[in-house]
Amino acid sequence: MIEVRPFNKSDLDSIYEIELESFSIPWAKDDLHKDAVINKLSIYLVAVYDDKVVGYAGMWHVVTEGHITNIAVSPAYRNMGIGQKLIEGLEIIAREKEMIGITLEVRMNNGAAQKLYMKNGYVVEGIRKNYYADTKEDALIMWKYL
């Protein structure tokens, strides 16, 4: 069974490993620590399967909006609905905090992530040209209004 719960400091090593497995330009461990532990605007959740952290999601609460920074699932645990549960967890928190909506950027070529977001009611509202430093790839700006 998959449990989604708030991040705690002891999860840092696990989410860093997932970060390394998931992104071509992963956040540095120190940056993850600063964002997940120190940044007062950040909200982090982890997904746990068989007592192991297998996914995580981060979101900033900026005034009346949420901005998803990362959602990642360890490759061995993908296609099990974990990303879906993490999105649902962030949306529950956003509603509790009376956010008006949630936004995110996603790579133009990341069809799997786009499909997940669209399934959850996110719509494309713009493009950030050359957003990703590694490939100069554009990002889709997606929003879901709550």
105 as an active site residue: the answer is: yes
What number of residues does the chain have?
146
Q: What is the dihedral of CA 104, 86, 74, 8, to 10 degrees?
A: 100
With contact defined as beta carbons under 8 Å apart, do 71 and 78 qualify?
Answer: no
Pairing mode, strands 101-107 and 65-73: parallel
- Out of 105, 131, 132, 137, the active site residue is 105
Which two structure tokens, joined as six digits, stand for 90? 């962030």
With contact defined as beta carbons under 8 Å apart, do 88 and 68 qualify?
Answer: no
Which two structure tokens, joined as six digits, stand for 117? 């977001």
- Out of 16, 44, 117, 122, the active site residue is 117
Q: Which residues are known catalytic residues?
A: 105, 117
